[in-house]
Amino acid sequence: MLESSYATENRDRISDWVIRGGVALVLVLFGLEKLPSRPDGQWVKLFREIGFGQWFRQLTGVVEVLGGLLVLIPQTVCTGIALLALTMGTAALIVALRLGRPADAIISTLFCLALSAFWRTRRRA
């Protein structure tokens, strides 16, 4: 009640940037982690197990990096979040259905839900 509208607006902008920066950092790092092609790398092994080919691992890495960068640009936040939410949702479905490991899909599912919720709040603004 005693706060000015400027202080509230400023805090919302700061929290928005913190959330966006955190999302961008995590997804860019995950995306970059998928790009090296070491034969013994965990991502190479996982995508081999998925069976779509290593091009799919590289595409996933590029999409995650691109989505993370889009989240940092104010005009493309919603596009980046939507792209990342779809990527995480697809990852959850592939792990649960293609690999038959639904318990391993929990993190991707939670990430998808959190990104979807954040996207929804951004769409209202």
Q: Which domain holds residue 60?
A: 5-124
Alpha helices in the chain, H assignment, sequence order: 5-34, 42-50, 54-72, 77-93, 106-124
- Is residue 80 within 8 A of residue 68, CB to CB? The reply is yes
Tell me how many domains the chain contains.
1
Whether residue 106 has pLDDT greater than 60: yes
pLDDT digits (tens, 9 = 90+) for 56-84: 999 999 999 999 999 999 999 999 999 99
User: What is the pLDDT at residue 37?
Assistant: 86
